[in-house]
Amino acid sequence: MKLTLYQIDAFTNHLFGGNPAAVIPLEEWISDSLMQRLAMENNLSETVFFVPSKKPDADFEIRWFTPVSEINLCGHATLASAFVLYHVMGYGFPAIRFQSKSGILVVTKNFDRISMDFPAWKPEPLADVPAELATALGNLTITSVYKYRDYLVEVADENMVQLCQPDFTLLKKLGHKVILTAKGSKADFVSRFFAPTVGVDEDPVTGSAHSQLIPYWSEKLGKKSMYAKQLSKRGGDLWVEYLGDRVTIAGQCVFFMKGEIDL
């Protein structure tokens, strides 16, 4: 069996920026164990697979795997999948409807940006903040901690996010993925994302984290449309909007590589 693999840098307009995703289009599903082994072999934060849907309400079914486990939502790999469909595979319709573990995700193309319609995950204040959390984040002074899927940790300023040096062993013991965020200087808000519990110490740019960040910062800033930056070493740019029960997350992509997997 031969499979085609594309590697796409997502949420960036230049090569070697943003978040690289491995995209593997399929005609039909292969086994879960094989998809997991392929993701482990690729050793990127996510490998994404999609197949044509047989259901009338979706165009494709999509699934995402880290090197160690399947996850329920991934923004950069969805963006990368849409880029491959639009710019490599010749998909000609204005919208792509992906059926996923988080429901239907609608993706549209607007000039050089691709926009994703994602669920809004409004985080709530965390009542019992683990005592080890601040230590695991390099003894940061924490302003507040919220949670939906992941811990959302706000700190006082952008520099604290940029300079944070986490203890990934301690973070893994906490058992939760962690979003670190602050109000931005040039962006409306900035963030970093740590996920050692699923085999990714730091994810370069994380669309799914913005399902929590967008409603959080929209309420704090009194704005619906915002510009966000993820402050990993590779960096990423996101144009986002809060729509109540949904959010939109838009970004750019750059083609890096096409290869063939021989199984």
Angstrom distance (rounded) from CA 88 to CA 23 = 12
pLDDT for the residue numbered 261: 98
Is pTM beyond 0.85? Reply is yes
Percent of the chain with pLDDT over 90: 99
How far is CA 149 from each of CA 48, 119, 123, 190, rounded to the nearest angstrom? 20, 12, 8, 19
Angstrom distance (rounded) from CA 48 to CA 76 = 10
Query: Domains of the chain, with CATH numbers?
Result: 2-115+252-262 (3.10.310.10), 124-242 (3.10.310.10)
Q: What is the pLDDT of residues 118-165, one digit of tens each?
A: 999 999 999 999 999 999 999 999 999 999 999 999 999 999 999 999
* Catalytic annotation, pick one of 27, 46, 70, 241: 46
pLDDT for the residue numbered 154: 98
**What single letter denotes the amino acid at residue 91?**
Y
Determine whether 46 is an active site residue.
yes
